[in-house]
Amino acid sequence: MNFASDNWAGAMDPVMEALARHNTGIAPAYGADPLTESVTRQFCDLFERDVAVFFVATGSAANALALSAYAKPGGAIFCHPDAHIQVDECGCPEFMTGGGKLVSVPGPAGKMRASDLWDAIAAFPDGVVHHGQVAAVSVTQATESGTVYQLKEIQALKHVAASRGVPLHMDGARFANAVVSLGVSPADMTWKSGVDVVSFGATKNGCWCAEAVVFFDLEAARGFEYLRKRAGHLFSKSRFVAAQFDGYLRNEAWLTSAEHANAMARQLAVGIQRAGGRFPWPVEANELFPVLRRSTFERLQAAGARFYEWPAKSLSAEDAPGPDEVMVRMVTSFATPPADVDAFLAHVAA
Amino acid sequence: MNFASDNWAGAMDPVMEALARHNTGIAPAYGADPLTESVTRQFCDLFERDVAVFFVATGSAANALALSAYAKPGGAIFCHPDAHIQVDECGCPEFMTGGGKLVSVPGPAGKMRASDLWDAIAAFPDGVVHHGQVAAVSVTQATESGTVYQLKEIQALKHVAASRGVPLHMDGARFANAVVSLGVSPADMTWKSGVDVVSFGATKNGCWCAEAVVFFDLEAARGFEYLRKRAGHLFSKSRFVAAQFDGYLRNEAWLTSAEHANAMARQLAVGIQRAGGRFPWPVEANELFPVLRRSTFERLQAAGARFYEWPAKSLSAEDAPGPDEVMVRMVTSFATPPADVDAFLAHVAA
Amino acid sequence: MNFASDNWAGAMDPVMEALARHNTGIAPAYGADPLTESVTRQFCDLFERDVAVFFVATGSAANALALSAYAKPGGAIFCHPDAHIQVDECGCPEFMTGGGKLVSVPGPAGKMRASDLWDAIAAFPDGVVHHGQVAAVSVTQATESGTVYQLKEIQALKHVAASRGVPLHMDGARFANAVVSLGVSPADMTWKSGVDVVSFGATKNGCWCAEAVVFFDLEAARGFEYLRKRAGHLFSKSRFVAAQFDGYLRNEAWLTSAEHANAMARQLAVGIQRAGGRFPWPVEANELFPVLRRSTFERLQAAGARFYEWPAKSLSAEDAPGPDEVMVRMVTSFATPPADVDAFLAHVAA
Amino acid sequence: MNFASDNWAGAMDPVMEALARHNTGIAPAYGADPLTESVTRQFCDLFERDVAVFFVATGSAANALALSAYAKPGGAIFCHPDAHIQVDECGCPEFMTGGGKLVSVPGPAGKMRASDLWDAIAAFPDGVVHHGQVAAVSVTQATESGTVYQLKEIQALKHVAASRGVPLHMDGARFANAVVSLGVSPADMTWKSGVDVVSFGATKNGCWCAEAVVFFDLEAARGFEYLRKRAGHLFSKSRFVAAQFDGYLRNEAWLTSAEHANAMARQLAVGIQRAGGRFPWPVEANELFPVLRRSTFERLQAAGARFYEWPAKSLSAEDAPGPDEVMVRMVTSFATPPADVDAFLAHVAA
């Protein structure tokens, strides 16, 4: 019953098989190999247009490097206060952008609202040197609250970004879970809704280490290879990342994997709700944040369930846990056994 | 007949097997897993003392991050002009150190000499704010010229570094090849000779992507985890790097692999010399830089041999290629088939 | 009737006279001159202890460089959301600290409260690499709201900072106005209350360009000269800054100057209040933020008064300007003519 | 008899008078004042075209910020090994450019030769990510060897820079001395010869602290105000720098001043040569590097002459000082009294 995180799993079979399959012979280093070329074409097919694809080692690197392509002196990047770039990357975006500032735009359920973004961005008027300059807007899809931006919400944020001539970045560490949740195409969720660059994460959803920065803004992609190399993120045996993506994308393995994770999360949500747990935020991807009775929480821990108590400070007073309650975070993945879900729910209902 | 580079190979069997073996079950992310702990102990055994081990994605990252642990404002890092950090890392060390300066100390056969280091370092007297401050000395072992520093040479450089209170860093992208070449222990070649931190490379010698920063200077290692994370180099599924190292180190696979590569290089060198090629630098590891007759060079290319013509500008006038000659670089690896060596030599001798 | 800013004035007579007095003969460059030594002694006298003094060009440079002496990878610096370092320095602190993050700790009247700082800092637990690490706490004295921290308030913030082993920095762009307002000694307001380093501003209060970073933490001051030089902030003819400080500090010119500015502000406040204006924040230094009727505001502008309408978003609903009101910022200085104050108040009362 | 450096002098009378003249009344801060506007027009007149002018605090800041406007990831800046940016700025250019690399191009008499630049720049081919990318070429005019580039030499370097699409920067810390030496117009020596941006120094030649970055490349100047502010180099009371330039430029005070300095240098050179001293480099501006007999050197020091022994390592074997000789650096300035020159020469001849 391990719901600690989706990065506690290993790699799924199609990825392992692809790694073995492509580990033969000699191939040029640094991404000049035929497999990397082939995977790049798969990305173009996936997004139904030309894209520029760059592999990097981690999701943090993908985010920070993507944003660094738009860095400006005194640059301000707007994101939700719970965004991974704001909370969980140890200053990597600030470092890679040469000292950018991440401006928090709070909003319910882990999402920025366009009207709030509008207000926040207005504090950085063009031409006022003291406050710095607007550099980018970044959304997390799926969000850190387990919710998913609707296409209209993304488009509304893009509208604000575009009004100031800055790009919209998407942190897609859980890109697959969001696509599956919305039932839209990758193209719909990205460039057709105004996204300029996406951190396309595959690690959480079944790879060992496969993250890509995918640019729709091909102009901004020029020179990106230097940003990546300068940060030590150009793999010499780059084809082993390509191999993972090959296994991941082929036969829609990535969608199958995310569907499973999302289904496990939904099933948990239904069961927990039925047993009296409540959810401040809807469960729309593979993370869920139930508020449980403390006694239930302790019973589950005693039974060996792994998951984290979670700070609830962004909740309104009426949603916040009461004195006998606790909010927790649970994460499902491609590797979550249905039996674990059943076992967990049995303990909840006990 | 591919001698283009040692990073054109895939992964060796023990590494692939270890990856498969460890891809089971659930494990904590970010290096808190038992396998990472076990591999760390293997490193301590290997070096016969306590060491601090940090996995990173690439050799460039290992070098730049290791040096960043010793960064100072206006810091100067002394290295050979052909060092990878000086020539091949797109400013990664400068970037990671917040603007450090790499000062070239030329020397024959890819090695710095202590006396030249002494002179170079003297241009940065303590307390003169204008020139900046001495930050570190970095050696490449094996060197970019296919040679290997003798222990006494390392110790002599350490002596100079220590006279200014700065650390000695070793770029060990080809660490195994050097250990095997010298026939010494890893401890002898590093901390017993004064090395404070080593970039321990395993990718070229048989892994997919396995590089580690290994500190003997445990004080300097404190805080390094923040430097790594800030640069986006903390893998979430860190155990997949640990798994590679597990396969690499176990049963001395890494030494066997390097011995093969070095043997192939020696065999090539003997054959080429016999056929009239000459070597400005001794062949001491798995890179060789023969000067060939241009006709021979062209015949080999026509036969499908892959290797690079190499700039010879660091050679003395008497060593430099004549008008009908060309200097080339050839690299062998764990994966070099003896048959390729034979075939190549047959073409050379033809 | 110019109340736009205290940096619209020129230099006061004692400063101009000192510049002329010291512009004779030849003196070593880069701060090795006798005048700089003498001024350093004056600073030691002023603070009743040994201090390390470094001149820099601007208040932004003073703040950012002071904080850079305590920079850490992933470092978080805690300050009020209205702090100059957070709002008005175009990312200079982020840049100079290699990508530090400024974490806002809101509080009434431009001041952080210790309890809020406690909560904010708790989100950065030691040893959790993802969130980064606590680096420093910075207070602005006098604040950007025209208020002044009481000594006990400074001490309480220091207590929190010390609990995490980080320094307390004071942005003293209006240091003199605060000292005069509190009626305490410079020592009391700084190191005796726990301040480790202060940006000692003299430009607004009567110099041309005279800012100093003054360290009480002499250990941290070691190496600072390299941080300053690396940022291009070491003046060659450093004695011209020393000369300004000489004129500024001698005969308590700096206190006389600040007393005048504060008195002008108090006089304005009393008159405005009498005429029906109200003050969300107390007027404790040389800035005042009255809420005026819009008709009054427009009448004053028509009469040629220079001052800025000011965003009131940090005010509570009950303090915020109503539909017919406007909040403004007015700043007085050593150069504010009493006649201007009288004229302004006459217009207000009209 | 002080020939230690031209920054040991104070400010010349026209500058002091201008400071006093403009220290009246109230003016907008941060460069929005009428005086700054007027001085900007003077710069346009001076250069016979539209230019963008930015005041900064120091010559190091001017150089580093000018180069930062052209920074690229992995960027290489080509300069002479004795250039101030390479030797005397404590890594300021590297820091401001986010980790740029300064590549030394040696050449006789402190000057780069176009053919050598060509070779050096060729090591950074476009599109090879490992080596980084060509970012800029920087010349020092007058050079650190007291020589002056002829217009044709500047044009030849520009030709190389332009072949790679990068700008030509001029470090004009001694701009006036070079203009006077060549007898050409400022326009001739800069944009008409291909210079894109100049660090226009006035401090050494008679100001307290007046340095400007002057862009002829108006496109590159866009956004520069953010680079300056982010580095803490935007003065609040900016008009005091403008005032210095006003005094400096008006009535050609700056040329008169440089003519005096150069004349003093020439007079010294003639006298020293007559007395048996020799000059490895021609004396073309206000610095001279005679090789003296050690006995002469000691006699001069005993007589109280201030000047520095200078490292001669860039000299050829035949030019280098013999065992009984010493190379020294002497610098003259606007403030050098003719009587000091006479006295010095009397001691030399003794």
pLDDT score of C345 = 96
* B23: confidence class by pLDDT, cuts 50, 70, 90: confident
Is C215 part of a structural domain of the chain? yes
Q: Give the mean model confidence (pLDDT) for residues C210-219.
A: 97
Q: Is residue C166 part of a domain?
A: yes
Confidence band of C94 (pLDDT split at 50, 70, 90): very high
Strand spans (E) along B120-196: 133-140, 168-172
Residue D67 is encoded by which pair of tokens? 């180069």
**Pairwise CA distance, residues A315 & B66, whole Å:** 42
- List D residues 81-100 in contact with C (Cβ-Cβ < 8 A): 89-92, 95-96
Asked if B142 and B269 sit in the same domain, the reply is no
Test the D interface: residue of C1, C5, C16, C23 with most D CBs within 10 Å:
C23
Whether B178 and B220 map to the same domain: the answer is yes
Query: In angstroms, rounded to a whole number, what is the distance separating the alpha carbons of residues C209 and C200?
Result: 12
Q: How many domains does chain A have?
A: 2
Which tokens belong to C49? 């202890």
SS3 labels along A326-339: EEEEEECCCCCCHH
User: What integer best gives the mean pLDDT of chain D?
Assistant: 96
Residue B7 lies in a domain: no
Residues D192 and D309 in one domain: no
- Residue at token pair 């030769």: D113
Would you state the pLDDT for residue C185? 98
Contacts of A270 (CB under 8 A, 6+ apart): none
D276 shares a domain with D240: no
The rounded distance, in Å, linking the Cα atoms of C15 and C208 is 8
- What CATH number is attached to the domain comprising C218? 3.40.640.10
Can you tell me the mean pLDDT for B229-250?
A: 97
Q: Indicate the residue among A252, A284, A308 that finishes a domain.
A: A252
* D53-89 pLDDT, tens digit each: 999 999 999 999 999 999 999 999 999 999 999 999 9
Per-residue pLDDT of A23-42, as tens digits, reads 888 899 998 999 999 999 99
The 3 state secondary structure assigned to D241-307 is: HHHHHHHHHHHHHHHHHHHHHHHHHHHHHHHHHHCCCECCCCCCCCEECCEEEHHHHHHHHHCCCEC
Strand-pairing partners, residue C288, are C330
Average pLDDT estimate for D152-170:
98
**Sign of the torsion formed by the C-alpha atoms of A232, A236, A237 and A239:** positive
Q: Where are the beta strands (DSSP E) in D90-223?
A: 101-104, 133-140, 168-172, 197-201, 211-215
Q: What is the pLDDT of residue C124?
A: 97
Instruction: Note whether C182 and C247 are same-domain residues.
Output: yes
Q: What is the pLDDT along chain A (350 residues), one digit of tens a residue?
A: 899 999 999 999 999 999 999 988 889 999 899 999 999 999 999 999 999 999 999 999 999 999 999 999 999 999 999 999 999 999 999 999 999 999 999 999 999 999 999 999 999 999 999 999 999 999 999 999 999 999 999 999 999 999 999 999 999 999 999 999 999 999 999 999 999 999 999 999 999 999 999 999 999 999 999 999 999 999 999 999 999 999 999 999 999 999 999 999 999 999 999 999 999 999 999 999 999 999 999 999 999 999 999 988 889 888 999 999 999 999 999 999 999 999 999 999 88
Query: How many residues are there in chain A?
Result: 350
Q: Residue C205: pLDDT above 90?
A: yes
What is the spatial distance between Cα D168 and Cα D77, in angstroms, rounded to a whole number?
Answer: 10
Closest by CA position to C116, among listed C84, C168, C80: C80
Residue D6 forms part of a structural domain: no
Identify the residue whose tokens are 């990535």: A254
- DSSP state letter for A318: T
Q: How far apart are alpha carbons C190 and C193 in whole angstroms?
A: 5
Mean pLDDT within D283-300: 96
Say if residue D348's pLDDT is above 90.
yes
> Residue D8 carries which side chain, given as an amino acid letter?
W
Task: Note the Cα B287 to chain centre separation in Å.
Answer: 11
What is the interface size between B and D, counted as CB pairs within 8 Å? 63
Q: Flag whether B217 is in a domain.
A: yes
Residue B217 has pLDDT above 90, yes or no: yes
Which residue in D64, C346, B240 sits closest to A12, CA to CA?
B240
Task: Give the span between the Cα atoms of C258 and C181, in whole angstroms.
Answer: 9
D92 contacts in chain B (CB < 8 Å) = 74
Q: Both C244 and C325 in a single domain?
A: no
Whether residue B225 is predicted with pLDDT greater than 90 in this model: the reply is: yes
- Mean pLDDT for chain B? 96
Same domain, D33 and D106: yes
Rounded distance between C-alpha atoms, residue B85 and residue B100, angstroms: 12
> What is the rounded distance in angstroms from the CA atom of residue B81 to the CA atom of residue B49?
32
Q: Last residue of a domain, which of A252, A269, A290?
A: A252
Give, in order, the Cα–Cα distances in Å from C294 to each of C4, C272, C289, C350: 18, 14, 14, 14
Co-location of C177 and C68 in the same domain = yes
pLDDT tens-digit map of D106-124 = 999 999 999 999 999 999 9
CB contact under 8 A, C95 and A97: no
How would you write B66-129 as a 3-class SS string? HHHCCCCCCEEEEECCCCHHHHCCCCHHHHHCCCCEEEECCCHHHCCCHHHHHHHHHCCCCCCH
Rounded Cα distance, B286 and B268, in Å: 10
Q: What is the pLDDT of residues B135-185, one digit of tens each?
A: 999 999 999 999 999 999 999 999 999 999 999 999 999 999 999 999 999
Last residue of a domain, one of B252, B277, B311: B252
Q: What is the mean pLDDT of residues C77-90?
A: 98
Judgement on whether residues D92 and D234 belong to the same structural domain of the protein? yes
The share of chain D scoring above pLDDT 70, in percent, equals 100
In chain A the first and final C-alpha atoms are separated, in Å, by: 16
pLDDT of D16: 95
SS3 D198: strand
pTM: 0.97
Q: What is the DSSP string of C201-221?
A: E-TTTT-SS-EEEEES-HHHH
C-alpha distances in angstroms, C103 versus A140, C79, C80? Answer: 21, 6, 8
Nearest neighbour of A87 by CB, restricted to C98, C100, C131: C131
pLDDT (0 to 100) of residue D350: 82
Residue to substitute from D67, D229, D233, D234, interface A, most A β-carbons within 10 A: D229
Q: Does residue A144 lie in a domain region?
A: yes
CATH number at residue A267: 3.90.1150.10
Q: Among A76, A72, A90, B196, which Cα is nearest to C72's?
A: A90
Contact between chains at B229 and C72 (C-beta distance less than 8 A): no
Distance CA C46, CA C40 (A): 10
Q: How far apart are CA D147 and CA B277, in angstroms?
A: 48
Query: What is the pLDDT averaged over residues D253-280?
Result: 97
Question: Which one of C88, C95, C99 has the shortest CB-CB distance to A91?
Answer: C99
**Cα gap B162→C276, rounded to integer Å:** 72
Q: Is residue D4 in a domain? A: no
CB pair distance less than 8 Å for B99 and D88: no
Spatial contact of C288 and C278, defined as CB atoms under 8 Å apart = no
Q: How many residues in chain C?
A: 350
pLDDT at A148 (0 to 100)? 98
Residue at C1 is within a domain: no
Q: What is the DSSP letter of C232?
A: T
Chain A 3-22, residues with CB within 8 Å of chain D CB atoms: none
Query: Between chain A and chain C, how many beta carbons pairs sit less than 8 Å apart?
Result: 62
CA–CA separation, C73 and C133 (whole Å) = 8
Report the distance separating Cα B261 and Cα B252, nearest Å: 15
Closest-CA distance of chain D to residue C92, Å? 4
DSSP B219: H
**CB–CB of D92 and C230 under 8 A?**
yes
Pair B71, B243: CB distance under 8 Å? no
For residue B163, count other CB atoms closer than 10 A to its CB: 11
B-contacting chains (≥3 CB pairs under 8 Å): A, C, D
- Here the tokens at position D81 are 């090994």
Q: Which pLDDT value is given to residue A24? A: 81
pLDDT tens digits, residue range D122-132?
999 999 999 99
Length of chain D: 350
In whole angstroms, what is the distance from residue B200 CA to residue B54 CA?
10
What token pair was written down for C24?
């004779």
Token code pair at residue B86: 């000086």
When pLDDT is cut at 50, 70 and 90, the band that residue D304 belongs to is: very high
pLDDT tops 90 at residue C40: yes
Q: Residue A79's domain spans which residues?
A: 13-252
B62 lies in the same domain as B205: yes
The mean per-residue pLDDT over the stretch C76-104 comes to 98
Residues B243 and B269 in one domain: no
Instruction: Choose the mutation target among D2, D230, D340 for the interface with C, i.e. most C CBs under 10 Å.
Output: D230
Nearest to B171 by CA among B137, B205, B218, B135: B137
User: How far is Cα B328 from Cα B326, in angstroms, rounded to an integer?
Assistant: 6
Burial class (CB in 10 A: 0-12, 13-18, 19+), C313: exposed
Q: Is B240 on the interface with A (CB under 8 A)?
A: yes
Q: How many CB pairs under 8 A join B and C?
A: 41
- The answer for C313, left when phi > 0, alpha when psi is -120 to 50, beta otherwise, is alpha
Q: pLDDT over 90 for what percent of chain C?
A: 94
Q: CA B298 → CA B316, B342, C347, D315, distances in Å?
A: 24, 18, 93, 43
pLDDT the model gives residue C312: 85
Asked if residues A168 and A199 have their Cβ atoms less than 8 Å apart, the reply is no
Q: Which of C56, C96, C227, C230 to mutate to test the interface with B (most CBs of B within 10 A)?
A: C230
Quick one: A220 and A269 in the same domain? no
Q: How many CB atoms lie within 10 A of CB B215?
A: 22
Q: Which residues contact A250 (CB under 8 A, 6 or more apart)?
A: A14, A18, A42
Q: How many CB atoms lie within 10 A of CB C294?
A: 14
Cβ-Cβ contacts under 8 Å for D45 (sequence gap 6 or more): none
Instruction: Specify the pLDDT at position A29.
Output: 92
Q: What contacts D48, CB < 8 A, 6 or more positions away?
A: D185, D187
- pLDDT score of D312: 85
d(CA A56, CA C100): 23
Amino acid at B154: I
Q: What is the CA radius of gyration of chain A?
A: 20
Res D314 pLDDT > 90: no
pLDDT higher than 90, residue B312 = no
The counts of H helices and E strands in chain D are 15, 11
